């Protein structure tokens, strides 16, 4: 237990939950932390290698049952996301997109054949999945998507494009959401299907240790059984987003904790005006406010995780968590940056990398504004979306 656990929350976790958290923390300490600053600087990540490592530990599709998945609780999955994101949001994104978006979509909405075909190899990290909802012209408003799927005999033919798709450049399968004459439907699209191309998006200033791509679908012909039979309408992809957002609620806690741990260590050893930075009242005020926000975020994540495990978690409650925890983690990362002074802008310390990563986390899986609108709708009964 660290000094940052101001409310003694650690004993609120079960022994098993603490063990899972500690195992993931050790893996991340060993396989990610020593290298991630270089990956970030170079804008690359050994995603396949990492996926296999994470697969060995059962982290891919961790909260799903069967098909080689670990069947862990929502809290255990959240704790894994927390530890992954404490190292880097991009590395957590690899796991979230694989497990909560691509695997969950197939697990929840796929046919038995699709599940058998994809899930076991995705659980081990042999196959990589991605999730294509966002388009160049349609982000927050996926109901307006332009990608079309039309019937041609028994086949489907997909035309359109998806943008900002995590894991796309290396994916073996993409879950693609497209408009049909009967509304939105989902498709499991092998990335080697003729007409599918993926281009990596370069020059990102955020999530640089994560692969992001654009997918072009040029008259992609798929057999009828590529369609996810249980996915009917936009609520299907939105339910996948709820899964992934829950992981982000926890991941944000990990980032905030890492920033604060780094900053506490720095402020207690760096001396100016003859005393450690941590001895100044202004620094202590910053540290205290940040530590209070951290424990609030932890409480919120744990509460939502327990609701999920009880089968009672509503999407608008996940919005409360994503809105608060990402916003506060970003504020903490920026504030920590000030305490590190010039060193705060150096890649030798993780805080500005974390802050830059959180700019993406703030935007993907529903922007903060969209989560405000979801909470606003819950409060007022009025939808301000349309």
Catalytic residues: 365
Place of tokens 């072009």: 216
Instruction: Using alpha carbons, list the distances in angstroms from residue 333 to 207, 231, 298, 347.
Output: 15, 38, 16, 14
Which residue in 67, 164, 266, 349 binds ligand FAD (CB under 6 A)?
A: 164
Closer residue to ligand FAD, CB minimum distance, 283 or 360 = 360
**DSSP single-letter state for residue 103:** I
**Could you say which residues in the range 209-228 bind ligand FAD, by CB under 6 A?**
212
Query: Per-residue DSSP letters for 191-237?
Result: TTSTTEEEEE----SS-TTS-EEEEEEEEEEE-GGGB-TT--STHHH
Closer residue to ligand FAD, CB minimum distance, 276 or 376 = 376
133 near ligand FAD, judged by CB under 6 A: yes
Closer residue to ligand FAD, CB minimum distance, 212 or 262 = 212
Q: Taking each helix axis from N to C terminus, what angle separates 47-56 and 15-31, rounded to the nearest 10 degrees?
A: 150
| Token code pair at residue 54 | 């994470």
| Token code pair at residue 370 | 């969209």
Within 13 Å, how many C-alpha atoms sit on residue 270's CB side? 16
The SS3 assignment for 60 reads: coil
Give the rounded distance of the alpha carbon of 377 from its chain centre. Answer: 24
147 near ligand FAD, judged by CB under 6 A: no
Which residue in 98, 127, 134, 335 binds ligand FAD (CB under 6 A)?
A: 134
- Beta-carbon contacts of 214 under 8 Å, excluding residues fewer than 6 positions away, are 136, 161, 162, 163, 164, 165, 168, 198, 199, 201
Which residue in 27, 51, 207, 217 binds ligand FAD (CB under 6 A)?
A: 207
Count of residues touching ligand FAD (by CB under 6 A): 19
Which residue in 72, 165, 209, 336 binds ligand FAD (CB under 6 A)?
A: 165
Piece of the chain touching ligand FAD by CB under 6 A; list 3-11, 61-69, 126-134, 280-288 = 126-134
47 near ligand FAD, judged by CB under 6 A: no
Give the rounded distance of the alpha carbon of 319 from its chain centre. Answer: 14
Which residue in 76, 84, 97, 171 binds ligand FAD (CB under 6 A)?
A: 97
Closer residue to ligand FAD, CB minimum distance, 70 or 133 = 133
CB of residue 173 vs ligand FAD: minimum separation in angstroms? Answer: 13
132 near ligand FAD, judged by CB under 6 A: yes
Piece of the chain touching ligand FAD by CB under 6 A; list 42-50, 115-123, 159-167, 188-196 = 159-167
239 near ligand FAD, judged by CB under 6 A: no
Place of tokens 């990608």: 147
Q: Which residues bind ligand FAD (CB under 6 A)?
A: 97, 131-134, 139-140, 164-166, 207, 212, 360, 363-364, 367, 369-370, 385
């Amino acid at each position: 237990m660290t000094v940052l656990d101001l409310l003694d929350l650690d004993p609120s976790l079960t022994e098993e939950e603490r063990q899972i958290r500690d195992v993931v923390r050790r893996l991340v300490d060993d396989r990610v932390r020593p290298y991630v600053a270089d990956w970030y600087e170079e804008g690359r990540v050994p995603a396949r290698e990492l996926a296999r490592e994470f697969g060995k530990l059962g982290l891919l599709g961790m909260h799903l049952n069967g098909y080689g998945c670990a069947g862990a609780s929502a809290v255990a999955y959240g704790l894994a996301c927390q530890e992954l994101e404490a190292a880097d949001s991009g590395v957590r994104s690899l796991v979230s997109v694989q497990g909560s978006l691509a695997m969950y979509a197939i697990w929840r909405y796929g046919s038995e054949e699709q599940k058998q075909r994809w899930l076991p190899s995705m659980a081990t990290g042999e196959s990589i999945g991605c999730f294509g909802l966002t388009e160049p012209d349609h982000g927050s408003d996926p109901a307006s998507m332009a990608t079309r799927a039309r019937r041609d005999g028994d086949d489907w033919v997909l035309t359109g494009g998806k943008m900002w798709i995590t894991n796309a450049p290396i994916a073996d399968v993409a879950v693609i959401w497209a408009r049909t004459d009967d509304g939105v439907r989902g498709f499991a699209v092998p990335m080697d299907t003729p007409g599918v191309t993926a281009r990596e998006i370069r020059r990102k200033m955020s999530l640089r240790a994560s692969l992001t791509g654009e997918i072009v679908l040029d008259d992609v012909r798929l057999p009828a059984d590529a369609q996810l039979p249980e996915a009917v309408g936009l609520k299907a992809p939105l339910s996948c987003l709820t899964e992934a957002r829950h992981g982000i609620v926890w991941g944000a806690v990990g980032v905030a904790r890492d920033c604060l741990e780094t900053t506490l260590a720095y402020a207690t050893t760096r001396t100016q005006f003859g005393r450690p930075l941590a001895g100044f009242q202004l620094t202590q005020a910053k540290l205290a406010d940040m530590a209070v926000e951290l424990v609030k975020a932890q409480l919120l994540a744990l509460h939502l995780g327990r609701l999920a495990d009880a089968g009672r978690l509503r999407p608008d409650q996940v919005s409360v968590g994503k809105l608060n925890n990402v916003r506060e983690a970003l504020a903490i990362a920026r504030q920590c940056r000030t305490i590190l002074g010039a060193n705060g802008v150096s890649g030798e310390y993780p805080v500005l990398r974390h802050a830059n990563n959180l700019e993406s986390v703030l935007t993907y899986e529903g922007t903060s504004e969209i989560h405000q609108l979801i909470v606003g709708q819950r409060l007022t009964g009025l939808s301000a979306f349309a």
